[in-house]
Amino acid sequence: MIKFFRKIRQNLLTQGKTAKYFKYAIGEIVLVVIGILIALQINNWNEQRKESKLEFEMLNGLSNDLANNKMKIISMISRDSLIIAGNQHLLNLLKDNNSDFNDSLQFNFGNINRYDVFFPQSMAYESLKSKGFHTLRNDSLRTNIIELYDEIYFINSHIHELKGKIYIGSIEMMNKRLFTTKDIDHKVPNNFKELKKDTEFLNTLSHITAENENFQGYAKTMLNKTILVKKEIDNEIKKLNK
């Protein structure tokens, strides 16, 4: 009988130890899970910091590139505007039977088929492509940046080619009628009065002028788009700095 009660007592003691061990094990598991969750949270936080830093660097690079592109486009527009105005002036003079040549026209004649070009600065954009467009979290901004570089600037490269073709296609005709003086930008007509009746020359001059006006219109559109996208980028940078 005594042995029986001793066995019951031993079982109760054993059960008590098992319950305590079970509670301890549960506590250890909870602590491990909490530790893992904290580690994951810290890792996610670090990854977010890295992604935000990379996004900030990409946006800063794009903003700087677009600032340079803006100045380049303005310079091209300014240069081409002088050529267009000069060509229009020559067309008016050549239509005037009473007009005469004077030395101040040398620059205008020397720049009839000349042109300026714009090569976009795209180092930051190429870097963004290599890192992945997902680097930029603002969907609308990302779309506008891609459109600017892959559409607007891409069309500009074709305009550059067209300008070159117009120059090459007209240079021989121009050289037959115009004499180069002190430099390539200054020419005088072999016979100013004959030019007034020269249909080929007049048609070429009017065509070049019209084409340049079209190119100028696109350049202004490109400038406005560049300014708009840069403004969007700068606003996004301000948000990230808050």
Residue 240 pLDDT: 84
φ/ψ (deg, to 5) at 190: -60, -35
Q: Which stretch of 19-23, 50-54, 230-234 has the lowest confidence by average pLDDT? A: 19-23
Residue 27 pLDDT: 59
Pairwise pLDDT comparison (5 vs 182), residue with the higher score: 182
% the chain with pLDDT above 70: 79
Question: How many CA atoms within 13 Å lie on the side-chain side of 116?
Answer: 17
Q: How far is CA 126 from CA 78, 129, 224, 237, in A?
A: 28, 5, 22, 19
pLDDT for 64-78, tens place per residue?
Answer: 999 999 999 999 999
Whether the predicted model's global pTM rises above the 0.85 cut: no
pLDDT for 117-165, tens place per residue?
Answer: 999 999 999 999 999 998 899 999 999 999 999 999 999 999 999 999 9
> Alpha-carbon distance 242 to 231, whole Å?
17
Q: Is the pLDDT of residue 25 over 70?
A: no
Residue 12 pLDDT: 47
* Residue-wise DSSP of 20-31: HHHHHHHHHHHH
